[in-house]
Amino acid sequence: MTVRATGGPPAAHRTRARRALIAGSVGNFIEWYEFGVYGCFATVFAANFFSGAGGDSGAGGTESLVKSYASFALAFFFRPLGAALFGRAGDRFGRRPALVLALLLMTGSTTAIGLLPTYATLGAAAPWVLTAVRALQGLSAGGEFGGAVALMTESAPPGRRGRYGAWQSFTVALGLLAGAGLAAGAATALGPGALYDWGWRVPFLAALPLGLTALWLRLRLDETPAFQQTRRGGGAPRAGALPAPPGEVLRAVVLGIGRIMGWSAAGYTFLVVLPAYLQHTLGATFQEALAATVLADLGFALTILPAGALSDRVGRRPVMAAGAGLVVLLALPLLAVLRSEGAPTAAKGLAVLLAGAVVGLMAGPGPAMLAEMFPTRVRCTGLGLAYALANAVFSGCAGLVITELGGRTADPAVPAYYAMAACAVSVPALLTLRADDHRRALRD
């Protein structure tokens, strides 16, 4: 049996779909805004939380930077747990309550980071407190993706799941852009001294009013037509009952991980790890590194919605496979341009812009592709787990692996190899997609 959004006048459908799109998007924006800020301020956290007296230079030492990225990675390993907990709640009780709870946890933990005492104040407990708060962020982020994508794709008009799902990735880009932009603005306006002393707190405290706005939007949501029809048809599982054969769900989760691991690895390599890499390995200034990150995020944002819309016309497979294949072909040449002392500034800017744009080809159709892999009864849980596990391994560990391997091998091309390897695995997994998946109705 398949499910389509039916019932009610077309105007009501459009209003409900737009409301779902906005409410789902705003939570993603807050989540990725914070991750963007943390990535841009990795060297600041290395100095303030992971280097004894907190007196590292602007770029931070290698050991403290690795510890900072280890804390970053740990939050990602709580995402699968969050995907399972919030996803199960979303599949059993509805998308709205799960998304409200995830938002409350994300807003509270992000705001808390802006209030944390540093190593200079709290001593050796400071990095552990920071890591604990980031673990809470990981739980909430794990629940956010599955619920938001289910909400957007189940509310989408026929033939528009790709572009509706792409808004999840687009708000990721907007969040990263906002985080990088605010970090760059703070660095320019305050200077290194004030930035390292107190200025880094401001972007995290800004999450509180954003979160309250998002909460108001989500409390006004209706449940999706697909979930309501499943409930009316007796599709809601009994307490303690399994909503779908575990083997089938597990196979879909593993296949989903393979299909998006390139997106996860390349996205974090080019969009989040880039600032610290440019500073620590290539000797760029803090402002130069953040400017490059803003350009990469801009390229990412520019291609997401067109890629999602294109996938509604030609299918998810050709668009996403093209993105993964281009990473394999272009990662080394683009990194070579960044490393070249003689390359014009415009060429370097174009290189990071193109790097972000290629990732957008995978991120645009990706949410809809995952939603189409799972039935309504397990959609939140299944697509959330696939995304969370891929991100835990290939995104959360990106900074840690690249920094550690780069230090051990002294090879500045490590980021390119990392992204290329993951995308090389994703290409054959993406080619297993059916050509008409984008035309099929979502399964119940």
Question: Would you say the C-alpha torsion 401, 260, 257, 221 has a positive or negative sign?
Answer: positive
pLDDT of residue 3: 43
Q: Cα separation of 437 and 444, whole Å?
A: 15
Closest CA to 297 of 179, 392, 414: 179
407 is a domain residue: yes
4 is a domain residue: no
Task: Dump pLDDT digits (tens) for 264-290.
Answer: 999 988 887 776 777 777 777 777 777
Q: Which residue has the higher pLDDT, 235 or 251?
A: 251
Sort residue 57 into left (φ over 0), alpha (ψ -120 to 50) or beta: beta
pLDDT of residue 379: 93
Q: Cα separation of 246 and 232, whole Å?
A: 23
Closest CA to 133 of 161, 100, 111, 165: 111
Task: Dump pLDDT digits (tens) for 364-410.
Answer: 999 999 999 999 889 999 999 999 999 888 887 777 778 778 778 87
Question: What residues contact residue 182 under an 8 Å CB cut-off, 6+ apart?
Answer: 37, 202, 203, 206
376 is a domain residue: yes
User: What is the number of H-type helices and E-type strands within the chain?
Assistant: 20, 2
| Unique residue bearing structure tokens 């490393």 | 339
Q: Cα separation of 201 and 145, whole Å?
A: 26
Amino acid at 95: R
229 is a domain residue: no
What are the strands, taking DSSP E only, across 357-412? Answer: none
129 is a domain residue: yes
Tokens of 174: 């907007």
Residue 55: strand pairing partners = none
Domain that holds residue 37: 13-218+245-443
147 is a domain residue: yes
State the DSSP code for 273. S
111 is a domain residue: yes
SS3 for 2? strand
238: pLDDT confidence band, cut at 50, 70 and 90?
very low
352 is a domain residue: yes
Phi, psi values for residue 3, rounded to 5°: -125, 130
Task: Dump pLDDT digits (tens) for 59-79.
Answer: 445 566 666 666 666 777 888
SS3 for 190? helix
Contact 110, 204 (CB under 8 A): yes
Total structural domains within the chain? 1
Exposed, middle or buried, 436 (CB in 10 Å: 0-12/13-18/19+)?
exposed
Q: Which residue has the higher pLDDT, 229 or 39?
A: 229
Task: Dump pLDDT digits (tens) for 83-130.
Answer: 999 999 989 888 889 999 999 999 999 899 999 998 888 888 888 898
Return the CATH number at 410.
Answer: 1.20.1250.20
State how far the alpha carbon of 49 is from the alpha carbons of 3, 59, 160, 399, in Å.
Answer: 50, 14, 45, 17
Contact 235, 37 (CB under 8 A): no
Contact 166, 305 (CB under 8 A): yes
Average pLDDT, the chain: 84
pTM for this prediction: 0.82
CA count, 13 A, side-chain hemisphere, 167: 23
Tokens of 242: 């399994």
Task: Dump pLDDT digits (tens) for 185-227.
Answer: 888 888 778 888 888 898 889 889 988 988 998 888 888 888 8
How would you write 291-343 as a 3-class SS string? Answer: HHHHHHHHHHHHHHHHHHHHHHHHCHHHHHHHHHHHHHHHHHHHHHHHHCCCC
